[in-house]
Amino acid sequence: MLTFRGAAAGVLMLAAGLLGTAPVAGAQAEGIAVVADLTLDRAGVLRVVETVKVPEGGEFRMSIPLRLALPGDTERVFKVTDVDTKGSGTATVLADRFSIEAKPGESTFTYAVHNTVSDAPGSQLFHYVGVIGEDLASIQASVLSPDYRIAILDCKLGPPGNGRDCANIHTEVDGTVYLDQSDLHKGDAIDLTLQLPPGTVPANADVRAAGNTGVFALTAPVLAAFGVLLAVLAGLVGFVLWSRRQNAAATSGSSTLDPLREQGERVEFASPDGILPGAAGLVLDEQVDPVDIAATVVDLAVRRYLWIAPLGERDWRITRVNQADEQLRDYERAVYLALLPEGTDSVTLSELGAPGRVRSTEIRSAMFADGVAEGVLVDRRKPGPWMWLGGGLIGVGLIAAVALALTAGYALVGVAIALAGVAVLLLPRSLPARTARGREVTDRVRALQRGLEEVRPEAIPPADRELVFSRALPFTLLGGRADNWIRTFRDLDPAAAPQPGLYWFGGHERDRTLQRFGGQFPYFITALEALFAADK
């Protein structure tokens, strides 16, 4: 239904420049003539070419609201675009008004009216009701639609509510409607209704709740845009949930991996794929924890890079045994140098606890970078496809919001696009850091932890027990099972070895069991974790 009512406007009045005209002193209104050609295109947009002739000393003005109040606390909203003028006239679209001003001479106005069509039962209606705001010498108008089967249902001219039938209006065989009237008076109303076959053009009327105004109004296109936004958000949430389920499956298995490997008559500890305890702790929970660094320190001692010796009950000395070499990973080297920088051969934990002495930030970054390099993790903080897509959508959305606010008025469409960009930009923070390979490694590390629970010292030759115990100990720290592991090997006699005592941990050379070591070692690990808990 193509409808402009009352002083708000009518499509023909809009084209003819009759509505809302303000008389100007000295104007020869009876000499003003208007010729308007209106074409309703197949997209449902009304294309208007309007020519206004104003005699010398006269002036013609028009100001038309683009909102029309409807029953039921609703309103219909129109918009005007593609405005162009020739001659001395000017036309502007500002906020909710379309204004035309014509000075003496001939002016031509070209513009497009949107949101003008709505369906009626069995047809589409072109309905115009407008009030003439100034005396006119003549008006000639034509209306052309995509379907020639246009019909004139009614046409009245005169005082509102008391008009007479239009004298000169007819339809040509090609479907063009012609209106030719003269000597129109200020205050007269034209009430014109044309009928089109159903589906002639797309229905695009913008009807909304009254008061829902402005460039941020909740219009049909805006609601459609937010509907798409909700669908995108639902898809992203579904993707996140699926990814997390896949990730959780890596830690929910029940398989067991035997940590012992026979080499002839010898038995040794073997981690899956040769993974180191610090890297294993990282992939288990996708972040670097203080216990992961502590496990690395113990592993460096077990592998004969460091020597640890207690000093009383609450302090320990860490001494260099071998220099950091090419066998160490970058993060292991960072841990080694944090404890024993160049020129330092030994240090106590109490000395390392001084403010600024140990910075764990570099160690954490190096450990995470190692996981990324190994292909078990993805660094979600670095720019990637999701970040580029999200940033692009935010940029496009902001540009669209500004452009639409200045033109069509659907600024919230751009806001919806920008919000989709924000959601995409935040997506990586909700996704697991583990890769498919990381999930496989995690499953094997979990299986190793379960396998360690089943190890019995009796299955290991006495000559190999100390080495197996020591090499596996850092891995038991990751699951908080170090106490159980020490208890399993409590009868291990460190004094029976060719070199009395644990080969990497001093102070127990005369002990016949690991009982004293088991009571002291947890305090050492707690002190290490506190050292690497945060930068001081």
pLDDT in tens, 234-246: 998 998 888 888 8
pLDDT at 1 over 60: no
Residue 457 CA to residue 374 CA, distance in Å, equals: 33
Q: State how many domains the chain has.
A: 2
Q: What is residue 434's DSSP assignment?
A: B
Last residue of a domain, one of 178, 209, 240: 209
pLDDT digits (tens, 9 = 90+) for 186-228: 777 777 788 888 888 888 887 766 655 566 666 677 788 888 8
Q: Which two tokens stand for residue 386?
A: 């999701």
User: Would you say 142 and 37 are in contact if contact means Cβ atoms under 8 Å apart?
Assistant: yes
One domain, residues 196 and 302: no
**Domain contains 385:** no
409 part of a folded domain: no
Task: Using the structure block, give the residue that is written with the tokens 């764990």.
Answer: 360
Model pLDDT, residue 210: 60
Go through the chain and tell me how many residues it has: 536
- Domain assignment present for residue 109? The answer is yes
pLDDT of 380? 82
Regarding whether 205 and 276 lie in a shared domain, the answer is no
**Whether residues 101 and 185 fall in one domain:** yes
pLDDT exceeds cutoff 90 at 328: yes
- pLDDT digits over 410-426, tens only? 788 889 999 999 998 88
Supply the pTM of this predicted model: 0.59
**Higher local confidence (pLDDT), 403 or 251:** 403
pLDDT at 373: 94
pLDDT of residue 215: 64
- Predicted local confidence at residue 531, as pLDDT: 92
pLDDT tens digits, one per residue of 471-499: 999 999 998 999 999 999 999 887 776 77
Selected residue with higher pLDDT from 387 and 133: 387
Are 40 and 1 spatial neighbours (Cβ–Cβ below 8 Å)?
Answer: no
Mean pLDDT of all residues in 264-273: 91
Backbone φ and ψ of 346, nearest 5°: -155, 155
Query: Tell me, what CATH number does 20's domain have?
Result: 2.60.40
pLDDT band at 133 (very low <50, low <70, confident <90, very high): low
pLDDT (average), residues 499-523: 88
Alpha carbon of 428 to those of 191, 232, 505: distances in Å?
60, 15, 43
Asked if residue 439 and residue 293 are part of one domain, the reply reads yes
Same domain as 149, residue 19: yes
Structure tokens at 189: 């109303």
Alpha-carbon distance 173 to 87, whole Å? 34
97 half-sphere exposure, CB direction, 13 A CA radius: 11
Looking at residue 214, its pLDDT comes to 61
Model confidence at 267, pLDDT cuts 50, 70, 90, reads very high
Token pair for 61: 């003005």
Angstrom distances, CA of residue 489 to CA of 301, 365, 512: 19, 35, 12
**Tokens 């090609």 sit at which residue?**
174
Domain that holds residue 310: 250-380+432-531
Between β-strands 346-348 and 316-320, what pairing exists: parallel, antiparallel or unpaired? antiparallel
Same domain, 261 and 345: yes
H or E element that contains 142: strand 136-144
Q: 37 and 180 share a domain?
A: yes
State the chain's mean pLDDT as an integer.
83
C-beta atoms surrounding 122 within 10 Å: 8
Give the pLDDT of residue 120: 83
Identify whether 514 is part of a domain. Answer: yes
Contact 60, 32 (CB under 8 A): yes
